[in-house]
């Protein structure tokens, strides 16, 4: 990776701590990504993006800010990218997928809390996430207790605005959520000093829908046997979707899809035909949290779909582009969100149906139910996942883990046993 | 305790498991409660209630049900007692304050989850809570992720209805919550077959307000030095408020207050004058979770106020009795709830002010911030408690614990050190 010391110092990063972080990543990336055989050529762009994720992209954001632009950071699909773009801003995800700054994070957070939350607080308090330091506003949400309350702490260290995501999906929730989206639009206009018009909003929706369409195209190609791309690489692309410039990213995903279509036509894939196929579902995976997909794909399986926020939920639903007024378009944005099967809703049984349909459509033999430690929404909802998939005769492996590597050996043993069980044709619950 | 084998068998309890539970309680109760010196005579009634909590009260509920009445169980102040009474039903709290049925609970719940949730699931799946088995409907709420999602699991084993508590307190939240209260009223009418009228609703509000007034009277008497009643005894009364017949309970609390007024007049108390006074704040304490108050009060301090749902939050706010129509009275009920400083709201800074005012008014020297393990709302909000009380020069001891006795010795050492620090006049944070 190139060095951008001046840029990083200008953002107030702790350069020594940041250097240690940067040194930790390349060996992991080599092991998880670059060692893969028969990778699509089109992945080169995404490798480049990761290599420059604390460099060139941050430089772009700084240039944008120097020209008066505003950068808005978030963690969640409930903060609509279209709105930020329509107000003339840029949307970025925030650092959260690795154990970092834990000692500092634990001065303000309880020890037993979701690693994603501890990670983002560690990044912020240790000043090693250039995205955090490039943001003019952080937009949080109320999708889980841990984040909801941690944003209150974060507000002592950065400007934070919180949108309230409802917990059911009835008419009252619709009113609440539409109101929250309208209020967020006003807040973003205030931030950027630019009015959201029907034109800017429709253009933003069309732009982001194009990204979603490209990702849907990518997903559909993974139905082939053998799949033309690994699950790890697909996950990486979904993760990068939160950071990269929208149009450039869309073009690169489409270019990759052109290549993958060729591969599918030739029957070429990243694994031998007949390799056991898995769906993964549960808690979202932030960069560089690739642990479980990596283990699964180096244990004889291939992941063909992700029922995750860093997966299907990100691109499945499009926003209706047909509204005439700003308010109609805001309603279309709000309506899209209430289609998501996030575990923050009660009940959330459509999610279980979705996993079943997905497994069927992608010809998966089994499902990994992935739960980040202390993530109550997905951990408790696992009961429904297991029950619902048992009714569909679909084996499920529950994997509860954090960002450390301590359990990697044990996870590998369990995942290998699960895959073996699948290929042996047995059909029982493994836990 | 008398035996009610026929009654318990009729409810489908697991009699052996229930017997083991019943045998475990009396020694604890003796140690925590009956051994106290100079207890008010009026506590005899509450001792009797506890002694008969699985007996006489259950018998009353069964008689009520046999006469066509409906019993509604809940865990939370957000389920308004007045509404249940107005619909002709009876409101009861559910068993949740002890480690029980853990192995069964862990077949449907994650291991790392709040002990209160694991406890209620353990009680239900093991069939040892006669309250659960006496309920015609359980009304859950969305105040935390763990409960919100656990009610979905519980719905496989009992009839459950969930009200959605909002997460902020703006005008949109008001609309949502008022709608939820109206919908709950309709659901309760359906359950009992009785219409809620302005008359029944106002009568229920007056009845429950009388209970709250009696509890406020009790609380005010604890401002005296020495306090005429221990914190443990006050907590017990707040806990019983969730289970007992409203009018009988109110009369008994008022009778106790008559006695306590006499004590205060005579300067008589349960501890010597000048005993260090504490406020306790945080996660609610269900029967028989008396661990931390017991340790504090046998380590040289006395608890004078509880900023808890089993405490101040239960009785502090009255419901406005002046509405003319059912809808006006429903709005008064809904409005009362949005005054509560539950950690489910973001932000929730009024709670911190409240703790400070309470400590001042009750002349407390320090605060115990009590957090049940894995309770994210209170655990993360502890940051605000500590920060806010540090600004007010009020020492805080954070106690994170569960229902086991494993840490009792360590807690005693920490609490003793905290009390010693308070009496030594030092003023630093202890953690």
**β-strand partners of B281:** B307, B369
Residues B274 and B203: beta-carbon distance below 8 Å: no
Q: Is the pLDDT of residue A216 over 90?
A: yes
Query: How high is the pLDDT of residue B425?
Result: 52
pLDDT band at B429; cut points 50, 70, 90: very low
Question: Measured between alpha carbons, how far is B380 from A148 in angstroms, rounded to an integer?
Answer: 9
Query: How high is the pLDDT of residue A24?
Result: 86
Contacts of A362 (CB under 8 A, 6+ apart): A222, A223, A277, A279, A304, A305
Q: Hey, is the C-beta of A141 within 8 angstroms of any chain B C-beta?
A: no
Q: Is the pLDDT of residue A324 over 90?
A: yes
Q: Is the pLDDT of residue A381 over 60?
A: yes
Question: Measured between alpha carbons, how far is A190 from A307 in angstroms, rounded to an integer?
Answer: 35
**β-strand partners of B396:** B367
pLDDT band at B424; cut points 50, 70, 90: confident
Q: Hey, is the C-beta of A106 within 8 angstroms of any chain B C-beta?
A: no
Query: How high is the pLDDT of residue B30?
Result: 96
Question: Which tens digit of pLDDT belongs to each residue from B310-323?
Answer: 999 999 999 999 99
Question: Which tens digit of pLDDT belongs to each residue from B345-384?
Answer: 999 999 999 999 999 999 999 999 999 999 999 999 999 9
Peptide bond into B398 cis (omega under 30): no
Q: Hey, is the C-beta of B345 within 8 angstroms of any chain A C-beta?
A: no
pLDDT band at A2; cut points 50, 70, 90: confident
Contact B150 A347 (CB under 8 A): no
Question: Which tens digit of pLDDT belongs to each residue from B247-302?
Answer: 999 999 999 999 999 999 999 999 999 999 999 999 999 999 999 999 999 999 99
Q: Is the pLDDT of residue B208 over 50?
A: yes
Query: How high is the pLDDT of residue A192?
Result: 98
Q: Is the pLDDT of residue B93 over 90?
A: yes
Peptide bond into A347 cis (omega under 30): yes
Measured between beta carbons, the chain A residues lying within 8 angstroms of B166 are: 164, 176
Q: Hey, is the C-beta of B109 within 8 angstroms of any chain A C-beta?
A: yes
Pick from B151, B371, B376: which is nearest to A145 by CB? B376
Query: How high is the pLDDT of residue A426?
Result: 46
pLDDT band at A25; cut points 50, 70, 90: confident
Query: How high is the pLDDT of residue A427?
Result: 44
Question: Which tens digit of pLDDT belongs to each residue from A48-79?
Answer: 999 999 999 999 999 999 999 999 999 999 99
Mean pLDDT, range A292-310, rounded to an integer:
98
Contact A172 B176 (CB under 8 A): yes
Contact B142 A379 (CB under 8 A): no
Question: Measured between alpha carbons, how far is B148 from B144 in angstroms, rounded to an integer?
Answer: 6
Query: How high is the pLDDT of residue B26?
Result: 87
Alpha helices (H) in B222-304, listed in sequence order: 231-240, 246-266, 291-297
Query: How high is the pLDDT of residue B2?
Result: 82
Nearest CA in chain B to A169: B164
Query: How high is the pLDDT of residue A425?
Result: 52
Token pair 């911190």 in the structure block, residue: B352
Q: Hey, is the C-beta of A112 within 8 angstroms of any chain B C-beta?
A: yes
User: Cα angle at A180 between A179 and A182, to 5 degrees?
Assistant: 65
3-state secondary structure of A286: coil
Q: What is the pTM of this model?
A: 0.96
Query: How high is the pLDDT of residue B364?
Result: 98
3-state secondary structure of B15: helix
Question: Which tens digit of pLDDT belongs to each residue from B67-87?
Answer: 999 999 999 999 999 999 999
Which of A149, A147, A75 shows the shortest CA–CA distance to A117?
A: A147
Q: Hey, is the C-beta of A176 within 8 angstroms of any chain B C-beta?
A: yes
């Amino acid at each position: 990776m190139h060095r951008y010391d001046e840029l990083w110092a200008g953002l107030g990063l702790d350069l020594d701590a940041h250097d240690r972080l940067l040194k930790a990543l390349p060996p992991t990336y080599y092991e998880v990504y670059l060692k893969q055989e028969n990778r699509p050529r089109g992945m080169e762009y995404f490798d480049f993006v990761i290599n420059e994720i604390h460099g060139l992209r941050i430089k772009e954001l700084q240039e944008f800010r120097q020209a008066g632009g505003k950068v808005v950071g978030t963690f969640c699909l409930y903060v609509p990218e279209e709105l930020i773009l329509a107000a003339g801003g840029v949307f970025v995800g925030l650092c959260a997928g690795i154990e970092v700054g834990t000692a500092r994070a634990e001065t303000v957070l309880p020890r037993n809390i979701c690693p994603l939350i501890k990670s983002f607080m560690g990044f912020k308090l240790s000043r090693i996430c250039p995205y955090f330091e490039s943001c003019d506003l952080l937009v949080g949400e109320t999708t889980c207790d841990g984040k909801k309350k941690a944003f209150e702490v974060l507000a002592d260290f950065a400007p934070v605005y919180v949108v309230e995501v409802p917990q059911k999906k009835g008419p009252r929730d619709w009113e609440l959520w539409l109101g929250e989206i309208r209020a967020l639009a006003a807040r973003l206009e205030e931030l950027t000093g630019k009015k959201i018009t029907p034109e800017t909003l429709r253009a933003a929706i069309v732009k982001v829908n194009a990204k979603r369409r490209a990702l849907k195209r990518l997903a559909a190609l993974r139905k082939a046997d053998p799949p033309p791309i690994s699950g790890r690489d697909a996950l990486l692309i979904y993760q990068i979707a939160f950071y990269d410039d929208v149009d450039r990213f869309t073009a690169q995903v489409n270019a990759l899809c052109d290549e993958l279509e060729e591969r599918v036509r030739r029957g070429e894939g990243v694994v031998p035909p007949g390799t056991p196929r898995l769906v993964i579902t549960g808690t979202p995976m932030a960069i560089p949290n690739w642990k479980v997909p990596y283990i699964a794909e180096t244990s004889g399986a291939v992941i063909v779909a992700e029922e995750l926020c860093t997966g299907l939920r990100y691109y499945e639903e499009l926003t209706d582009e047909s509204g005439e007024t700003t308010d109609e378009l805001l309603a279309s944005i709000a309506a899209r969100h209430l289609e998501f099967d996030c575990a923050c809703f009660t009940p959330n049984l459509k999610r279980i149906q979705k996993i079943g349909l997905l497994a069927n459509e992608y010809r998966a033999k089994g499902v990994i139910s992935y739960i980040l430690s202390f993530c109550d929404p997905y951990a408790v909802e696992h009961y429904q996942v297991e029950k619902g998939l048992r009714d569909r005769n679909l084996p499920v492996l529950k994997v509860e883990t954090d960002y450390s590597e301590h359990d990697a050996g044990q996870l590998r043993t369990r995942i290998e046993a699960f895959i073996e069980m699948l290929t042996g044709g047995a059909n029982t619950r493994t836990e």
